[in-house]
């Protein structure tokens, strides 16, 4: 320790200040700053860094998940964090403009942005794929079986030798896609013969736990191999007929219209029971392949809040029987109200009714107001088409949250706008609680308040309002965008 009256060098002093923070935290997340970032980051092959601000709500929500993931990844991947309000230089150097920002570092160098899940389990699985080589070398049958006997699908390239152009392209693809998929490669051509591949190519092994009698467990790719063609092949085949939907892969599955059967699915502790219901689902849905509807199974508990809030389904109301829903890519929702029968007939009727347009959409909606009071028209989901999509009127609608302080602050101005235009029958000033009601497709509401104009004659192309929040701002926008000449004159 330095003698009294002597000054420590600047770098040493910085370390003296930084070390107690790291040691005393008793957590597995490394706290980094301007003085020690470069030194400590280079000590780790792979590191996930969270750049955050203490006041940021999203950062606070992520913090416990990030901490849990750090504990699970301890000894494999180091997780770290940087407080951007205290260490501005580091955050500026790495281009941090919003919070939280997550970046992957390799040996201290900024390697890639993290765009994976924000749950502890999702971070764990995503970062596990970031460790080790882009593609594992397989030399023996035992190596191959060990690699493909995994919870996730496996992609294995088979090549004639290290100099093969196809192998070079495969390894490039593995480097780009390793965060999404597992890759291995071999030059032992005999390893692929039992699977029907007798020359260079790629084998996609679906997870063993999802093996079934309705589809092949291994799919072969022998077309011209490029990064793009391999990506398409994986995308089109990796999930199979009826994949296991999780919180981590749900967004990749929902790019198409998707039917999901939710039940007590647990492949880690109850493989037989999980596949009992999945096989009954697959027996029915195998008849509908290629007709524009995709299929999956999922754990009720994982999606409990979604089932209750988005579909009005209690996860306990069906007991052990599956709950079945359909969510289209544009956001339409349907629920199977008939009890799931073990012979699959109720599911078959539900799917057939979907294709013949006999299902009624499920819409989360508040009760229809008994009467209209006030200058601002209150809209609920059940009345959205009748009010907002009225082809004879220009409708300016605010989507709000009851707890949003900005919405509350704006209320007097918005009411004044409605009162000023109340004498014009061609203009409606409206609002809808976006928490208690489903927001229709075509309206992108991610924050509050959000405003749209559904102009007369252009209901299929609502215009998002991005202007100021004063009365004059709203009036100028409506004068410019409203379609009715009467509206323009009034405005």
- Which one, of 72, 122, 86, lies nearest residue 102 by Cα? 122
- In angstroms, the CA 117 to CA 125 distance is 9
Q: Which of 59, 84, 91, 242 is catalytic?
A: 59
**Secondary structure of residue 256 in the 3-state scheme:** coil
404 CB-side CA count, 13 A? 17
Please, which residues bridge with residue 327 across strands? 258, 333
Residues 80 and 69: beta-carbon distance below 8 Å: no
Residue 357: is it exposed, middle or buried by C-beta count within 10 angstroms (0-12/13-18/19+)? exposed
- Which one, of 287, 118, 162, 315, lies nearest residue 214 by Cα? 287
Residues 59 and 100: beta-carbon distance below 8 Å: yes
Residues 431 and 414: beta-carbon distance below 8 Å: yes
- In angstroms, the CA 149 to CA 155 distance is 12
Q: Which of 84, 91, 242, 407 is catalytic?
A: 407
- In angstroms, the CA 486 to CA 491 distance is 9
Give kind and range of the element (H or E) at residue 221.
strand 218-221
242 is catalytic: no
| Radius of gyration, CA atoms only, the chain | 28
Q: What tokens appear for 24 in the block?
A: 């005393």
**Secondary structure of residue 261 in the 3-state scheme:** strand
End-to-end CA distance of the chain: 75
**Secondary structure of residue 388 in the 3-state scheme:** coil
Residues 52 and 59: beta-carbon distance below 8 Å: yes
Q: What tokens appear for 117 in the block?
A: 């899940």
91 is catalytic: no
**Secondary structure of residue 218 in the 3-state scheme:** strand
Q: What tokens appear for 243 in the block?
A: 């994949």
**Secondary structure of residue 46 in the 3-state scheme:** strand
Please identify every residue annotated as catalytic.
56, 59, 404, 407
């Amino acid at each position: 320790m330095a003698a009294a009256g002597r000054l420590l060098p600047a770098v040493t002093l910085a370390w003296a200040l930084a070390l107690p923070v790291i040691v005393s935290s008793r957590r597995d997340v490394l706290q980094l700053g301007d003085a020690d970032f470069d030194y400590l980051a280079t000590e780790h092959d792979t590191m996930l860094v969270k750049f955050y601000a203490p006041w940021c709500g999203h950062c606070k929500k992520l913090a416990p998940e990030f901490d849990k993931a750090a504990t699970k990844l301890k000894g494999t991947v180091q997780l770290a964090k940087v407080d951007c309000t205290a260490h501005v230089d580091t955050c500026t150097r790495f281009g941090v403009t919003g919070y939280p920002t997550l970046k992957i570092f390799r040996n201290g160098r900024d390697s890639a942005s993290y765009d994976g899940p924000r749950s502890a389990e999702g971070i764990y699985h995503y970062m596990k794929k970031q460790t080790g080589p882009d593609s594992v070398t397989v030399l023996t049958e035992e190596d191959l079986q060990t690699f493909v006997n995994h919870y996730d699908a496996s992609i294995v390239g088979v090549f004639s030798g290290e100099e093969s152009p196809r192998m070079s392209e495969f390894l490039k693809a593995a480097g780009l896609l390793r965060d999404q998929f597992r890759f291995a490669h071999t030059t032992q051509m005999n390893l692929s013969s039992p699977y029907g591949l007798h020359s260079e190519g790629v084998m996609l092994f679906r997870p063993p736990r999802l093996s079934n009698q309705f589809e092949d467990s291994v799919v072969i790719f022998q077309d011209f191999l490029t990064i793009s063609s391999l990506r398409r092949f994986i995308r089109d085949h990796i999930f199979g007929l009826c994949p296991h939907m999780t919180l981590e892969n749900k967004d990749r599955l929902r790019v198409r219209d998707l039917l999901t059967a939710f039940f007590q699915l647990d492949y880690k502790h109850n493989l037989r029971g999980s596949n009992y219901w999945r096989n009954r689902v697959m027996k029915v849905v195998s008849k509908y392949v290629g007709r524009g509807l995709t299929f999956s199974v999922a754990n009720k508990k994982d999606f409990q809040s979604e089932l209750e809030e988005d579909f009005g389904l209690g996860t306990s109301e069906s007991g052990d029987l599956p709950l079945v829903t359909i969510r289209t890519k544009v956001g339409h929702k349907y629920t199977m109200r008939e009890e799931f029968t073990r012979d699959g007939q109720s599911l078959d009727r539900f799917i057939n009714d979907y294709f013949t347009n006999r299902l009624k959409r499920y819409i989360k909606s508040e009760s229809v107001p008994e009467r209209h009071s006030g200058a601002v028209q209150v809209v609920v989901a059940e009345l959205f088409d009748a009010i907002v999509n009225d082809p004879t009127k220009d409708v300016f609608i605010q989507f709000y949250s009851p707890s949003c302080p900005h919405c509350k602050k704006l209320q007097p101005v918005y009411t004044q706008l409605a009162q000023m235009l109340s004498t014009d029958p061609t203009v409606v000033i409206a609002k809808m609680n976006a928490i208690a009601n489903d927001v229709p497709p075509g309206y992108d509401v991610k924050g509050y308040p959000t405003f749209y104009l559904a102009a007369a004659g252009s209901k299929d192309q609502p215009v998002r309002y991005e202007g100021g929040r004063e009365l004059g701002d709203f009036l100028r926008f409506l004068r410019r965008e409203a379609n009715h000449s009467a509206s323009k004159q009034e405005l």
